[in-house]
Structure formats: structure tokens, C-alpha cells
Chain A
Amino acid sequence: EIVLTQSPGTLSLSPGERATLSCRASQSMSSSQLAWYQQKPGQAPRLLIYGASTRATGTPDRFSGSGSGTDFTLTISRLEPEDFAVYYCQQYDGSSVTFGGGTKVEIK
């Protein structure tokens, strides 16, 4: 099973700042297997990025994903008030799905 480790656990930033979230896999994986989700309190998760770097329908272009092998990054170029939430990376290796522990982006 591929273990995903997200860092930092919490990111305290102000609106307008840049956010950089990390997701590290326990073994090398295909970029096509990596997705990012956003979850706000009281809501279901929402798909943001798939294939490590492709924005899902409706995802603003201030969100970008990158990376390969074991290291993946979600970047929010300029934080908007609605971006403060928890973010998860997720992978499927053909037999099981795993999620990272999540990064909470909070208002500083």
C-alpha cells in the first residue's frame, strides 16, 4: 500500500499570499494516479486536481498541481477567502486507495 504523507499539517497564511502544500508518497508512483481535494467544514470533499496537474472542471486557475515520482505539490497562487479549507492528496495504485492526512490552510 502506498502511504501519502502531507506537510505541513497546518498552514497559517493571509489572503493574497501564496500557499504551497506537499504530498510525499512512500514509493514512486505514476502522476496519473494522484489527485487533490478540498474540503470545507460541513461539506463533502471536492475534486480540484487530477493526474497531478490537470484542473478539474470549475477549479480556478490560481490552483496548480505539479510533481512526479514520490513528491507532489499543490500551489494556490493567491489565497482567496474561500480557499481556507483542508486539502487532501489521494492515490489509487490499482488495488487500494489511500489519502494523505490532510493540510489545513487557515487564516493567519
Chain B
Amino acid sequence: QVYLVQSGPEVKTPGASVKVSCKASGYTFTDHYVNWMRRAPGQGLEWMGFIGPIAGNTNYAQKFQLSVTMTRDTSTGTVYMELTRLKSDDTAVYYCARWTDSINAFDVWGQGTVVTVSA
């Protein structure tokens, strides 16, 4: 069975940083890019960017260019997403998802991590 398992909920104050992990299992980690999305309360899905598993190459959505960093650890099959300078409107559920080239879609998703930013 293929899984992406994310780290637990986080509560942060404005200006802080948060780092969310996403551990892959059941497939060859280096075969698939991993993307990050979020869904804020009352909003739709928003793409944040992706990381390549072999070279660690990244592509961030313009909105997050200065605030997000994605990294990976190939030895454990884990991808990380760090968001800095948090604001209250960063409160959202954050998802990692596996991209499969052959179908041009996200076919496996993590369970989501709730990040709450509040003073």
C-alpha cells in the first residue's frame, strides 16, 4: 500500500516558522515528485510548489517564493515544507501529494496537517 504520512498539528504565533514533514512508503521514493498544497478555512485548494526527489530541485508558486522552503531526505523517504514569517492567514490544512507523470495528476495524498497561527 502506498502512503504519505504527515506530521501532527501545529500552533504557532505570528512571525514564527513551521516545518511539516511527509513520509512516503510503499513506493520508490525517487520515482515521484512531491507537491505541497493548502486549504485555508472557507477557501479552495492552493498549490505551493514541488520538490524533485533525486536532485532536490524545487519550483515554488510565486506567492510563496520568499516564505517557503521544501527539502527532502532520500535516506528516509521524507519531504519537508518549512513556512516562515507566519501570518494569521497562513492558518490552513497543509497537504503533501505525490505527482505521477504518466497520468499528470496527484494520485496519493497525505492526511493533512493543521497549522494554526494565532497570537
A26 CB to closest chain B CB (Å) equals 16
Give the total of A residues in contact with B, Cβ under 8 Å: 25
Report B-chain residues with C-beta under 8 Å of the C-beta of A13: none
Q: Which residue of A lies closest to B112 (CB)?
A: A44
Chain A residues engaging chain B, CB cutoff 8 angstroms:
32-33, 35, 37, 39, 44-47, 50-51, 54, 56, 86, 88, 90, 92, 95-102
Report whether B44 and A101 are in contact in the complex, using a CB–CB cutoff of 8 Å: yes
List 9 other contacts, CB 8 Å, given A46-B109, A47-B106, A92-B99: A39-B39, A45-B95, A45-B106, A47-B105, A50-B104, A88-B44, A92-B104, A96-B59, A97-B50
In the bound assembly, the distance between CA atoms of A51 and B102 in angstroms comes to: 10
Partner among A86, A90, A96 whose Cβ is within 8 Å of the Cβ of B105: A90
Whether a CB of chain A sits under 8 angstroms from the CB of B16 is: no
Please, which residues of chain B bring their CB within 8 A of the CB of A97? 35, 47, 50, 61
Contact B103 A44 (CB under 8 A): no
Identify 7 residue pairs between A and B in the complex whose beta-carbon atoms are under 8 Å apart, listed by A's number. Answer: A32-B104, A35-B104, A35-B106, A45-B45, A45-B95, A45-B97, A88-B44
